[in-house]
Structures are given as structure tokens and as C-alpha cells.
Amino acid sequence: MTLIEKVALKALHQIDPERAHTLAMMAMKMGVVPLSGLVTTPRLETTFCGMTLTNPVGLAAGYDKNALVVDALTQAGFGFVEVGAVTPRPQPGNPKPRLFRLTEDQAVINRYGFNNEGMEAAAARLTRRSRLRPVPVGVNLGANKDSDDRANDFARVLAACGPHVDFATVNVSSPNTEKLRDLQGAEALSALLAGVIDVRDGLGKYTPIFLKIAPDLTDAELAEIAQVAQEAEIDAIIATNTTLDREGLKSASKDEAGGLSGAPLFEKSTQVLAKLSQMTDGHMPLVGVGGIASAEDAYQKIRAGAHVVQLYSALAYKGMSLVEEIALGLDKLLERDGFDHVADAVGTGREAWL
């Protein structure tokens, strides 16, 4: 972490977390945040779901809900970037406060509730994004809280934003929209994915479809989702979203409602990842997310079965320079263990998590 980042983070941590995030976004848009540019090595370059990535470290959805700073984010060292979640209509989300730092636990609890400006605003910004940098950009598809047909909402957002992105994620795993996680059931999920894929097939270009799942699933539920995902021929599964679990937390805000992310999620999300890898015999491309705050964390996710990884919460504690630190640190770990390429390490430590 740079001295500038240390000073900035210390100042930001003195104010409300949501306000601090807004200020950080403004600083990035104004170009005053030091960015790493493209970060890559021959060991880190990889292909994922047909996309060429300079490195396997991506940005998870939630950081840039409205695609406001996409161009800056593609210069921050990430191998790929996901914006959103985006819903068909604008919605304010849940009442404030709705974002809480758990500094003692290096964690965050949020109950945003898919606050965003809607698909038309997101699509307009995605249309204008720079295509000069080789960093794929995707959109996280969401549903309006008061929608009469939430399953169709995902397809509608893809129809609006799909022409302007490189991949799209079906997000049925946020705990902050009532009954949204019910869509993870086999019958509902199968119908939802069929609708999304129908829209994708009409876009005139192939757009990989990912499915983001919750960490709070039984093994039976996880196996059911894996089967539905394979039958629907989606391109990848993201494991995982935030958790409702609060075990072992120390911070004052530990009992706030919402989804928990950050360091306490690492073990649970990695176990889900390893189980998915086993259930799909390593054939389903997987994105590992949840609690990544170091190169070693990213490496463990990959060895558990992830082909690529995403992070978000750790940026609030370690700054944007963490992206380059993780990517180059991962390269050193791969070299240390004799892997010529990141793809060679995928799943090699899976058994330790089962």
C-alpha cells in the first residue's frame, strides 16, 4: 500500500462507509487515484469462457453499481471487471445506514438492496466505455424488489446491457432482496436461466452467462444447482455471494442485518467452491470470490478449483494497489511451486477443502 493510500484510507474510515465509497469513486473518476495499469506475466495470462485475460484477478460486482468509473477500473490492474447489480427500473434500495465496516474482522456487512439507476442509465454508460484496454467488462443482472416477474427482469437487463458487455452474471444470491434466493431452487432457476439464454442467443454475439450463488447452501442444494447449471449450459458459476452467517465475529456491528463479506467469508466460500469443483468433475469454469485479501488467498481459491478470482471488500481496507499486489504475488507463488501457467494450478489443492 502506498503512503497516499494509507493517508486516504485513514481519512475515509473516519466517515460513514457509504459516503466514503462515494468519495473514493469520485476520486477515481477525477483521476487522482494512482492506478496500476495492465498487470500481466506469461504465467498469469489466461483464457476464461472464451475471454482473454491479462491476469485472473477480477473485480466483483457491487463496487461500481452504475458503471460510473468503468474506464478507470480497467486501468486498475484487474484482469476483468464486473459492474452492477443492475435492475430494469431505478430503485433506491434499503434505508440508510446500510453499509457497515467490521474493522476488527476485516469484513463488511451491507444491506443495500440493489440500489441503482436502472438498466437504461447503465447501458448508456457501457455504450460509451473505452475499448482500448484488453480488460473484459461484465454486468451483474438483478431484479426489482417490487417486480411481478423477477425471473423476466434478468432477461430484460441482459437485453438492454448485453450488447455492450463481454459477460453477464445472473445474481439470484443476494440476501438483501426478499425471497430472491428462492430463485436458486431447481425449477425456478432452470426457467430463469432458459429465459436469459434465449435473450443471449438473440444478441448477435456470444456473451458468456455466469451464475452467482450463495454460500449458505446445503450440499443437496449445491448439487441441485450444479446439475441445473450444467443442463442449462451456462458458462461459469461464481462462488460465492455474501453470507448470513455471523459465527466468530468480534466487531460492534456484527449483528447488523445484511450480507457479510470479507475475511470471515473466506473459509465458507472456498469450501463451496471446492465442492462445486468436485461435483462438476472440474469441467464447469468457476470464479472464486469471498474473503480474498492477499496473493495467498487468491492462490488457495485457485488450488481449490477456481479458474479465476474476484475481490471487493478487501479494497476498503487495503486500497486499489492491492490488485497489483495480489496478481504479482500470485505469479511468484505459481513460480515457487513449479507451475508454468495459472491454469496448471486449478484444483490441485481441492481435497484439502472437502
> Which residues are designated catalytic?
174
Q: Report how far residue 35's alpha carbon sits from residue 152's, in angstroms, rounded to the nearest whole number.
A: 38
Per this entry, what is the length of the chain?
354
Contact 217, 194 (CB under 8 A): no
* Grid-cell match 469454469, residue found: 285
* Encoded amino acid at 219, one letter: D
Asked if 289 contacts 311 with a C-beta cutoff of 8 angstroms, the reply is yes
Q: How many CA atoms lie within 13 A of 120 on its CB side?
A: 3
Nearest in space to 199 (alpha carbons), one of 151, 128, 136, 138: 151
Q: Which of 135, 86, 140 lies closest to 323, judged by CA? A: 135
Residue 289: HSE in the Cβ half-sphere, 13 Å Cα cutoff: 28
Using alpha carbons only, what angle is made at residue 60 by residues 268 and 213, rounded to the nearest 5 degrees?
A: 45
